[in-house]
Chain A
Amino acid sequence: DVKVTQSSRYLVKRTGEKVFLECVQDMDHENMFWYRQDPGLGLRLIYFSYDVKMKEKGDIPEGYSVSREKKERFSLILESASTNQTSMYLCASSPPSTGGKNIQYFGAGTRLSVL
């Protein structure tokens, strides 16, 4: 079974703090993704990475950065947390698209509250 592990299920941070959300996958997948999930807005892509040290902006990258120093680990960084970044954050990984398919495997999510 593919395992995508997010380091924290719940986090509470203060406005202005630097926040790190960590994601690790054990299937040697090339691709990794960070989404935020908000009621009524679905899953919105923040950043993704297709290789070590490579990153691409998703639909809502503002206020976030990412780091991928090792293939299995993809970190999401909030440089200065704000209350509007209170959300559920989901990490996912996938192998390269094969046969025209892109199957993503999700972590359990980190619920972040910024006070």
Chain B
Amino acid sequence: GENVEQHPSTLSVQEGDSAVIKCTYSDSASNYFPWYKQELGKRPQLIIDIRSNVGEKKDQRIAVTLNKTAKHFSLHITETQPEDSAVYFCAALFSGGGADGLTFGKGTHLIIQP
């Protein structure tokens, strides 16, 4: 099955600086890679995703890049703000039985220092 590795487990950056979180996946057939954000005490929510037919996608201060050859993808957050503090999960799509699902990384706790 799919295996997703995520690094680092904790990332502390100064407010206004950039943050980068990296993930690798094992199944070369995977073609969809979402990122979820989970604020403290809340449910995970999708913030951005990318399909394998593109190399980069941006949405305001966040961007995701994908290198299919190397089987890794990254989340980039620029001009970090206090509300960016959260746990971020990367994921990769797998197909099993009659449905598709997601295999998640272990998460990165992003801390924005004032």
Residues of A within 8 A of B (CB): 30-31, 33, 35, 40-45, 48-51, 54, 56, 58-59, 90, 96-97, 99-104, 106-109
Residues of B within 8 A of A (CB): 1, 6, 9, 31-32, 34, 42-46, 49, 51-52, 89, 93, 96-107
Contacts A41-B106, A42-B105; A101 near B96 (Cβ below 8 A):
no
Give the interface centre of B34, B52, B98, B105 by most chain A CB atoms within 10 Å.
Answer: B98
4 closest pairs, A vs B, by CB? Answer: A50-B99, A42-B106, A56-B97, A106-B43
Residue of B with least CB distance to A33: B101
Q: Are A90 and B31 in contact (CB under 8 A)?
A: no
Please measure, in the bound complex, the distance between the C-alpha atom of A9 and the C-alpha atom of B96, giving whole angstroms: 30
Please measure, in the bound complex, the distance between the C-alpha atom of A30 and the C-alpha atom of B98, giving whole angstroms: 10
Residues of A close to B106: CB separation below 8 A: 40-42
Q: Are B105 and A102 in contact (CB under 8 A)?
A: no
Residues of B close to A99: CB separation below 8 A: 51
